[in-house]
Chain A
Amino acid sequence: MKTTLHLKLNGRDAALEVAPHARLLDVLRDVAGLTGAKEGCGEGECGACTVLVDGRAVNSCLFPALEAEGRSVVTIEGLAGAQGGLSSLQQAFVQEGGAQCGFCTPGMVMSAAALLSANRDPSDDEIRDALVGNLCRCTGYAQIVASIRAAAGKAGAP
């Protein structure tokens, strides 16, 4: 028994056939084919599945897909710069070494994007607070924080 979910997905109208109890993460990965959001824990602790729903960072592993009805969902695949390449936030992650194994990276970038759209020039403490729901085992967070600091205040961010 499937139902149709209507939403704006990465800026385009989409209609997806989903099971009523489906998690947004599974719908994004398995139905929409957007595998950028990762499942790191499935219980909202690690943040690897972070996406934006109406501009707010949510753990898509805890978010019922049908709750996205009529709303705007942006995944890592939906971030892009003016010319369609990397956004300035993504470029900053590249330049500052914000990714190592990269598994947490899409979620980190999305949490950072939500932060920067609410606060153009966050302090280091505000950056760290915004990342408290995103675990990383590789980087020790130093270069992730540096990436977000570098992107802050830049034109076009996030």
Chain B
Amino acid sequence: MSNPHFVGVETARPDAADKVSGRTQYIHDLAVPGMLWGAIRFSDHAHARIKHVDTSAAEKLPGVEAVITGYNTPEVRIGFVRDNFALKRDKVRQFRDEIAAVAARDPETARAAAALVRVEYEPLPGVFSLQEALAPGAVLVHETDAKGRPRKDNLVPVRFAHHSGDLEAGKRASKHIVEGEYRVPLIQQSCMGTAGCIASFDTRGNLTLIAKTQIPFLAQKDFNRALGALGLEGRNTRVVVPALGGGFGTGLDTHAYEYIAMLLAWRTGRPVKILYNREEEFAYLSPRQSATARIRQGCDANGKLTFREIEVTQDNGAYTSWGATFPSVMLVPATSLYRVQNISFESKIVYTNNTYCQAMRGYGNPEITWPIESSMDELAELAGLDPVEMRLLNSNQPGETTPMGLKITTCGLQECLERTAAGLNWKENRGKRRNVKRGFGLAGLINVAGGGKIYRSDGSGIILKPDDYGNVNVSYGGVEMGQGLHSVLALTIADTLGVRPEQVIVNQTDTSTCPWDVGTHASRGAFMACNAAVMAARKLKARLLEWAEEIFPVEVEEALAKARKHPGFKEPDFDWRGNCRPGCFELSDGILTIKGAPAVPELQVDFARLLRAIHFRRQGGGTTFAEEAFYEPPTELPDWEKGIGNMSATYAFGAQGVEVEVDEDTGEVKILRLVAAHDVGRVLNPQTLKGQIYGGLAQGIGYALYEEVLTDKGRILNPGFTDYKLPTAVEMGFPIDVQLVQTNDPEGPFGAKGVGEPGLVPTAPAIANAVYDAVGVRIRELPITPEKVLKALQEKRRR
């Protein structure tokens, strides 16, 4: 490990050839013999009592095998506050509520039958905005909690807050104070591969679920509980993860459609597949929350931050997913992006009759970095400071502990800010191109980068199992969803164990063969997997090198005996026998040899030969190998109501800066170039790392400029890519300068930090700050559409 030669080198991904050939199999491509297709009948109202469900017409359609409702199946509760149900009874609370489901011979028949289910409703008034939901006497989305106790309001029963220092003293010490309200929209994760699953039972009642999930083991736990509801206590769920057509947070919860597939499979005794099409994905899969944040922060006469006060209100929709806990991650930047001492953070998560929301990449961080970094620019202007100077003055530094108790080990924030500014020729440009309506803006970021503890374990297990042919089979419970996890695992294992990357084969994630992992989220995949892999590979290598003392002399003698039969063979000029002792062996590139030995084939034992020699040991008593390791990062589960706890083993920092041009006639914002400087700890594979940053940037730009799920009284108005605008290759056609700042983190595998989310965190405020620099208007609501810019320009002219 001291001298890696695969880690850090630009390397093609092991899964790339199959992907470019169309051979990779996603849930869309999978079928199981005897399989039926499921379809769901969703609600026609955002809020209504269900008076009657008539399934008779659906049942009569030829090809239909089963029609189920909440009335003829056991109650299956979903979500960590257990406020959701696989199939709804009595009441619907959002347009996408599942009322009935069909299993049929093909998807067309299933969908046709689902449409034949007749539902009688008694419509109820609904609450569709934060104001409506929080108003005194508001209609209650949930009249009772999961235990049946009456509820008084529409607040989701979880609390995330932080109060430290002396807020009033901070305000008194302030020379300048800025205040603003910032909004972020509902957006869709927009995985190119839509959601789907296949559920099947064996005759003993064990469930196999092929699931598009990022949390196979938490899903196993959820489904084992659901099996209990079917009277199958003690039976098991095996979760198998196919290739994922994107994840982006959509796989952090288990979903009603998955439980419905389970119920249909149990009812029919046959495997059942449910696959959403794009319209269904938009209308019936949870998007990212919309939220409103009020921020106030101040600085002294020198520009030093004096306090920060934030209140966030998040539209949860009708039910609760893990996405409701976004404020747990907002705590990180709220308390710890830049040095600030007197802090108040409060959050409200509000039930409405809108579609319920779930996680998406960044998980609260972009939502809160948006107001913080917009407000930093406003404060700098008041203080008469350059925005970069203002940030450098308040920059986090290595070795500090923040008010949340985050222990900052390595910190490249200052360098990221400096390199971003340098990349844009900041001093010469910012504030000086307004005559041509060009502006420059920048924003920084902090993100968890060594796990994010939100569960009692944040650990990851791994098993390395070499075979007789020199392959190292890897069983890992985290999920490759496109980010390149398998690539960095192969490089890490190759370097640590001493084999070639192509000898490392990462198996399909399957709860029956892989050790436990909490899930692939919070930028933790590579950090956890590679730390666990280093531990396991070291153990495996130590065992192999012990065996080398016995195996090496036998194999070398045999090779030499063979070689000596060839005329002209020269004995190696090396005392290999004298060097056959502990500590003298070396395994590298899949070759066992002795340190210092000349590179002649007779003194080299191929990895496969070594393994076979141990397995089929001549004296008998051979063995096969597998090594397991479990890495649990040195982190704390925060006290969420106090907002204190070192939730990650290390933190990523970064800065992004943009040059934009604003068309004052149309309000259109055009990005001319972008610099992204990221503290990545250390690069594992430059290709996949840059892929994470480029991809994050595109999502950050979509969030900043284009994307919004539009709703009207809970109904989604733009369920498709025709009216929901994702950035295309043309929108992304500006130069991007990615700067990798390597701080070599002591807890990171080879020094690496997590990089999955940071790429999209500061993009929107950097763009808004640049728009302000160009034309002097501050947009506080995403996306920054031409309409909003034009309106702001008109208001500015009127003033």
Contact = CB atoms under 8 A, between A and B. Distances in A.
Interface of A: 34-43, 45-46, 48, 75-77, 79, 86, 90, 93-106, 109, 124-125, 127-129, 131-132, 134-145
B22 A77 contact: yes
B277 A39 contact: yes
Contact of A36 (B23, B193, B483, B695): B23
B439 to A, nearest CB: 22
Among B243, B722, B728: residue with most chain A CB under 10 A: B728
Interface in B9-45: 12-13, 15-26, 28-29
Contact of B22 (A75, A98, A137, A138): A75
Contact of B243 (A102, A132, A141): A102
Contacts of B17: 86, 90, 94
Among A45, A136, A138: residue with most chain B CB under 10 A: A138
Contacts of A135: 190, 192, 721, 726, 728
19 contacts: A35-B28, A38-B26, A43-B720, A75-B22, A90-B17, A93-B20, A94-B16, A100-B482, A101-B243, A102-B24, A103-B191, A105-B20, A124-B733, A136-B729, A137-B248, A138-B695, A139-B695, A140-B699, A143-B687
A34 to B, nearest CB: 8
Given A46-B192, A101-B245, A101-B481, A127 B729 contact: yes
Given A97-B12, A101-B482, A136-B192, A145 B729 contact: yes
A128 B695 contact: no
A35 B721 contact: no
Given A97-B12, A109-B20, A141 B691 contact: no
Interface of B: 12-13, 15-26, 28-29, 189-194, 243-248, 277-279, 481-484, 687-688, 690-691, 694-699, 720-722, 726-730, 732-733, 736
A103 B21 contact: no
B691 A41 contact: no
A39 B691 contact: no
A150 B138 CA distance: 60
Contacts of B691: 97, 100, 138-139, 143
B268 to A, nearest CB: 22
Contacts of A35: 22, 25, 28-29
B712 to A, nearest CB: 21
Contacts of B18: 102
B192 A103 contact: yes
Contacts of A48: 192
Task: Specify the main secondary structure of chain A where it touches its partner.
Answer: loop
B694 A137 contact: no
Which 6 residue pairs spanning A and B have beta carbons closest together? A36-B22, A101-B482, A102-B19, A103-B245, A140-B698, A140-B694
Contacts of A128: 728-730, 732-733
Contacts of A139: 691, 694-695, 698
B26 A103 contact: yes
Given A38-B193, A137-B699, A140-B695, A103 B729 contact: no
A156 B296 CA distance: 61
Contact of A137 (B12, B192, B688, B722): B192
A128 to B, nearest CB: 4
B13 A90 contact: no
A108 to B, nearest CB: 9
Given A94-B12, A135-B728, A139-B691, A42 B20 contact: no
B440 to A, nearest CB: 21
Among A97, A99, A132, A141: residue with most chain B CB under 10 A: A97
Contacts of A75: 22
A156 to B, nearest CB: 15
Contact of A90 (B21, B244, B484): B21
Contacts of B688: 97
Among B19, B245, B484, B728: residue with most chain A CB under 10 A: B19
Contacts of A42: 277-279
B484 A40 contact: no
Nearest to A111: B729
Given A46-B192, A138-B691, A99 B20 contact: yes
A141 B697 CA distance: 10
Given A40-B278, A93-B20, A140-B695, A101 B730 contact: no
B13 A45 contact: no
Among B21, B26, B279, B698: residue with most chain A CB under 10 A: B21
Nearest to B732: A141
Contacts of B21: 36, 76-77, 79, 86, 90
Contacts of B194: 40
A103 B193 contact: yes
